[in-house]
Amino acid sequence: MSSVSVRDISLNFGAIRVLQDLNLEVEEGEFLVLLGPSGCGKSTLLNCIAGLLDVSDGQIFIKGRNVTWQEPKDRGIGMVFQSYALYPQMSVEGNLSFGLRNQGMARDKVRERVDRAAKMLQIENLLARKPAQLSGGQRQRVAIGRALVRDAEVFLFDEPLSNLDAKLRSELRVEIKRLHQKLTNTMIYVTHDQIEALTLADRIAVMKGGVIQQLDVPHTIYNRPRNLYVAGFIGSPSMNFLDGEIVAQDGGLVFRLGSHEVPLQDYVADIDLRPAANAVFGVRPEHVEVFQGDADGSKPTFPAVVDLEEPMGADSLVWMTLEGQQLSARVEASRRFRRGDEVRVAFNLPMTSVFDRQTEDRM
């Protein structure tokens, strides 16, 4: 049985269709990330699941219960917001216990739950403080605690780390992952940060224009993006796209890049590859090998000219021109490139993707 099941959800604001016939099944204990740029409907979907927005059509089930018409408090959810949304006039303890007190829970039981959550998040010594006296990281911890005390079946996170600085963000990211391992609750997490998505998720749903583009495990999303949009959105630095065509040659297929031909026999296809006049060859920078001087000759190489080098600490990004098209490659930081250098590049074929220019789908 799925933990959360979204069936044919549509949501319109007047004439604007934000979500269209969206279906989503989240397994028990799964960490699902909704990933997309701002305005793609991911937060809206989360608000629908939480019951903070009424859907125009469709149904929502949580633990097999149809909660489509239920109030947020009756859905068995806990929610964490980007802006923390702590009640400013209440102490941390007041914030944590607010939901429980609203349920009319006995005082000693409230106390017990609050203490347990505070211990888990290491905020025991902050219980008497007001939110204004807390740092950003502490505030977000309290916000998570507020969801925790409710013993919710499903946790909803609405970009919880977006307001924090980079260092704190990576710290809390790990903490959320640990929390999920400890609690084994179902978690739905909205973010526009692909690193967060790739590191946290059991499965990622990449959204665009109110439609889920691809829903799969992070590895597949990264290595077998279903379409051009997903391929371009995931990965930093992003994937190279080279325009060309697929033609049959010597009984096999090749990708023709101007005057060069990339043999495709090692390519892992989603559907049967066939010749196509307009195709896009997608390769991530780390799957481009750059040879200065002689190549080892084990695989086909192509000539390119270096434009510029971007050192990124652990490695460098080299920008080149291949057949008049831009191409970037990730290389060891110790290697040096100068503008105008003539190099040869090779592709790690099993890790590349070929897309149809018209449908934008992976082949």
Partner 1 sequence: MTDAALDAPRGPKPRPALSRRNVFLYGTLLVVSVYYLLPLYVMIVTSLKGMPEIRLGNIFSPPVEVTFEPWVKAWSSACTGLNCDGLSRGFWNSVRILVPSVVMSIAIASVNGYALANWRFRGADLFFTILIFGAFIPYQVMIYPIVILLREVGLYTDLFGLVIVHTIFGMPILTLLFRNYFTTVPEDLFKAARVDGAGFWGIYFRIMLPMSLPIFVVAIILQVTGIWNDFLFGVVYTKPENYPMTVQLNNIVNSVQGVKEYNVNMAATLLTGLVPLVIYFVSGKLFVRGIAAGAVKG
Binding site for partner 1 (CB under 8 A): 47, 50, 52, 71-73, 77-79, 81-89, 98-99, 102-103, 146, 150, 158
Dihedral sign from CA coordinates of 175, 181, 184, 186: positive
CB of residue 155 to partner 1, shortest distance in Å: 11
Whose Cβ is closer to partner 1: residue 67's or residue 254's? Answer: 67
- Residue 62's DSSP bridge partners are 4, 65
193-201 CB contacts, 8 Å cutoff, 24+ apart: 193/161, 193/162, 194/35, 194/233, 194/234, 194/235, 194/236, 195/236, 196/33, 196/161, 196/169, 197/33, 197/35, 198/222, 198/234, 199/173, 200/31, 200/33, 200/173, 200/176, 201/31, 201/32, 201/33
Whose Cβ is closer to partner 1: residue 71's or residue 250's? Answer: 71
Whose Cβ is closer to partner 1: residue 156's or residue 273's? Answer: 156
CB of residue 4 to partner 1, shortest distance in Å: 15
- Within 13 A of 71's CA, how many CA atoms are on the CB side? 2
CB of residue 157 to partner 1, shortest distance in Å: 12
CB of residue 136 to partner 1, shortest distance in Å: 15
Whose Cβ is closer to partner 1: residue 148's or residue 264's? Answer: 148
Whose Cβ is closer to partner 1: residue 79's or residue 363's? Answer: 79
Q: What are the backbone dihedrals phi and psi of residue 350, each rounded to the nearest 5 degrees, phi first?
A: -65, -20
CB of residue 66 to partner 1, shortest distance in Å: 19
CB of residue 130 to partner 1, shortest distance in Å: 11
Non-local CB neighbours of 216 within 8 Å, separated by 6+ positions: 203, 204, 224
Q: Which pair of structure tokens corresponds to residue 290? A: 């750059």
What is the Cα–Cα distance from 353 to 217, expressed in whole angstroms? 17
Whose Cβ is closer to partner 1: residue 104's or residue 251's? Answer: 104
